[in-house]
Chain A
Amino acid sequence: DAGVIQSPRHEVTEMGQEVTLRCKPISGHDYLFWYRQTMMRGLELLIYFNNNVPIDDSGMPEDRFSAKMPNASFSTLKIQPSEPRDSAVYFCASSLIGNWAFFGQGTRLTVV
């Protein structure tokens, strides 16, 4: 397995634009997590899914953020409209229940 795959690796966009981040989890994993990492706030859990169903989205900062998992092999995190304070590294991770998580390489988002 190639591990958790995120795309794009880097994204630079203008304020107000829509941004879509993509994640392919490891096949067979039943949990998928989206995290955001900044120097100021550290690693924040935004939302996580179990068997494609969102379980807890209390970490999603605003209604501008949305996440979907239409099937077991794909998830998206969308920001619309984007703002400069959304600039961060966004990580996707997947796991089997009760086991450690495997992280993707992250998407570095810069909103100018």
Chain B
Amino acid sequence: SQQGEEDPQALSIQEGENATMNCSYKTSINNLQWYRQNSGRGLVHLILIRSNEREKHSGRLRVTLDTSKKSSSLLITASRAADTASYFCATDARAAGNKLTFGGGTRVLVKP
């Protein structure tokens, strides 16, 4: 089974609205990473948050990490049509030999 599981599986919002997606995982991690994938392309990293960090920002992106609940969230503020993509979380777990495993992703549609 996958280490990270995203919720919701799909999200449709209007341009300008915020988009929030969540990721839950099962085992202790070194860090948790969020990626974006445009249709037909490879994944591109967005933010990496380490296990001793609780929040991180990058532009319109905000990531939180709650290791006690084994969960993370990605918030995209003031969404744009260009944010339409699939978003994935991935966990890097030292106990698993630094294996990088991905969740099923959240498909985000931002309507203009």
Interface residues of A (CB under 8 A from B): 4, 31, 33, 35, 42-43, 45, 48, 50, 55-56, 91, 93, 95, 97-106
Residues on A with beta carbons closer than 8 Å to the beta carbon of B101: 45
B84-104 interface bits toward A, Cβ cutoff 8 Å, 1 = contact, 0 = none: 000010101000111111111
- 5 extra A-B contacts, CB within 8 A, seeds A93-B100, A95-B100, A106-B41: A42-B104, A43-B43, A56-B96, A91-B42, A101-B90
Indicate whether A50 sits within 8 Å of B105 (C-beta atoms), given known contacts A91-B43, A98-B30, A106-B42.
no
Residues on A with beta carbons closer than 8 Å to the beta carbon of B48: 99-100
Contact in complex: B31, A105 (CB < 8 Å): no
* CA of A100 to CA of B48, assembled, Å: 7
